[in-house]
Amino acid sequence: MSNPYDAMWEKLNLDLEAHAGLLEVLGKFYGDIYMSQQGRLRGMEYLDFVLSEVHGLRIKELQDAKASGKKVIGTFCIFVPEEIVLAAGGIQVGLCAGAEIGKDEAEKVLPRNTCALIKSFVGFKLSRLCPFIESCDLIVGETTCDGKKKAYEIFSDYSPVYVMEIPQMKNACDRDLWKSEVLRFKSKVEEITGNKITAAALRDAIHLVNERRRVLQRLNRLRAAVPTPISGRDVLLINQISFYDDPVRFTSKIGELCDELEERVKSGEGIVPEGTVRLMLSGCPMAVPNWKLPYIVESSGAVVVGEESCIGTRNTRDLVEEGGSTVDGMVDAIVDRYMRIDCACFTPNTERMENIVDMARELEVKGVIHYALSFCQPYSMEAYKVEKALSNAGIPMLAIETDYSMEDVEQLKTRVEAFVEMTR
């Protein structure tokens, strides 16, 4: 079966046959998990469309932009400051790495006990299935964990990789390190794009990224209403798509969706029956198409009303202070904002415990499900401290450790259902 994008994909050197299979599976999976929902917002049609064109229209846009001289920069982590890339006239895309694909290929170069996210991005590359990776002029890695650090060394045999060093503590010298890393990144981006970052461009870029964060903050405020007006799955999807869609269009479309949501909240309309248990997810990022746990939770008499995750509030909570006039001043504002990220790669990471407890209280959830990818040491170890902090606040927590495979779905269901029964 031919596809209108085949020529483009072929040019990007994708494995066309395997890629067609991937899109088919993804479409079916999306249908089962998303299209089966009742009472979705009209505004979700935009997200359905964007997802259905995930490897089509958006890639075409990127290719067109590249043809006009723009550069595309791929990232795997919310530490990479998009403001810098946008200010240099580049396009930043968050690469997804949420599917168990190319695992056999990945395991040829990686140990088996590597987390699913790392295996996924290596697998996507080695099996030639991701047109985003193939569209990138530069892929930016970062030193958030040992697994990623070493995987980027291997990845750089196949793609142009640049690695940012992320500090592991939050002392003054760590901020100095991070600032020098942001400046080094700025030079690299200026070199790749051929554009020197001006104060005006940086100011606009800071504003643009803040606007996207603001609309996602608004979404989070609205979705917290009782009765729950939008499923956790839909909110997760919106957050996921924020990483690769055009930021201006995305912000405007999600603004419209929030208007619709606001009306729904005003009229007291909900999408779940009364008595549905409000839960919050916390932990590792869930990248497209990793909808496994939210789907299990929302099929077990509960609804997800918050995601304490990089694809969630960790990415949207803090804004870069606006109003700077010099490039150096604005870089400082960027440095400070990103230093507030409460990733489990930091030690100690007490802010995260406080943020989780605050969020759980504000959202009035009955419990928190902590999600760690198997072999993700930072998050699976931090689950212990999270549970302690939550238990001191009288909030129950269930720790789940899993990966992208479907073989443990039944076991997870039992655990999640039992947790829902317990918190009811």
| Closer residue to other proteins, CB minimum distance, 325 or 411 | 411
Q: 312: left (phi > 0), else alpha (psi -120 to 50), else beta? A: left
CA 255 – CA 318 distance, rounded (Å): 19
- By beta-carbon proximity to other proteins, the closer residue of 255 and 396 is 396
204 binds other proteins (CB under 8 A): no
The CA distance from 161 to 185, in Å, is 12
Of 196 and 424, nearer to other proteins (C-beta) is 424
- Tell me if 17 contacts other proteins by CB under 8 A: no
CA 245/CA 224 separation, integer angstroms? 24
Q: Say how far apart CA 256 and CA 272 lie, in whole Å.
A: 22
Strands (E), 115-203: 138-142, 161-164
In whole angstroms, the minimum distance from the beta carbon of 28 to other proteins comes to 21
Q: Is there binding between residue 157 and other proteins (CB under 8 A)?
A: no
- How far apart CA 304 and CA 72 sit, in angstroms, is 34
The reply to whether 299 sits near other proteins by the rule CB under 8 A is no
| Interaction between residue 214 and other proteins (CB under 8 A) | no
In the complex, minimum distance from the CB of residue 396 to other proteins, in angstroms, rounded to a whole number: 7
User: Least Å distance between CB 299 and other proteins?
Assistant: 11
Give the span between the Cα atoms of 92 and 71, in whole angstroms. 9
Number of residues engaging other proteins in binding (CB under 8 A): 12
Residue with tokens 């940086």: 202
Torsion angle of C-alpha atoms 220, 226, 229, 235, degrees rounded to 10:
30
- Among 18, 169, 226, 422, which residue sits at the site for other proteins (rule: CB under 8 A)? 422
Please identify, using beta-carbon distances, which residue of 7 and 418 lies nearer to other proteins.
418
**Closest CB 305 distance from other proteins, rounded Å:** 22
Q: What is the DSSP string of 39-63?
A: S--TTHHHHHHHHHTTTTHHHHHHH
Our finding on whether 13 is near other proteins (CB under 8 A) is no
Least spacing, CB of residue 228 vs other proteins, in Å? 23
Residue nearer to other proteins on the CB measure, 166 or 397: 397
From CA 76, how far away is CA 287, in angstroms rounded? 10
Residue 207: CB minimum distance to other proteins, A: 46
Under the binding rule (CB under 8 A), the answer on residue 274 touching other proteins is no
Task: Please state, in angstroms and rounded to a whole number, the distance separating the CA atoms of residues 328 and 334.
Answer: 10
Distance CA 12, CA 6 (A): 10
Closer residue to other proteins in complex, CB, 169/381: 381
Q: Residue 412 carries which side chain, given as an amino acid letter?
A: L
Helix (H, G, I), strand (E, B) or coil at 344: coil
Window 38-57: contact mask with other proteins (x via CB under 8 A)? --------------------
Q: Using CB under 8 A, which of the segments 7-15, 211-219, 254-262, 414-422 binds other proteins?
A: 414-422
| Choice between 322 and 410, CB closer to other proteins | 410
Q: Count Cβ neighbours within 10 Å for each residue of 108-143 and write b for 16 or more, e otherwise.
A: ebbeeebbbbbbbbbbbbbbbbbbbbbbbbbbbbbb
Beta carbon nearer to other proteins, 307 or 401: 401
Contact between 417 and other proteins by CB under 8 A: the answer reads yes
Q: Name which of 277 and 311 has its Cβ closer to other proteins.
A: 277
Q: What share of the chain is helix, strand, coil (3-state, %, to 5)?
A: 55, 10, 35
Residue from 60, 149, 317, 415 binding other proteins (CB under 8 A): 415
Minimum separation from the CB atom of position 422 to other proteins (A)? 4
**3-class state of residue 254 by DSSP:** helix
The 371-410 site mask, x for binding other proteins (CB under 8 A), equals -------------------------x----x-----xx-x
State the residues that interact with other proteins by CB under 8 A: 396, 401, 407-408, 410-411, 414-415, 417-418, 421-422
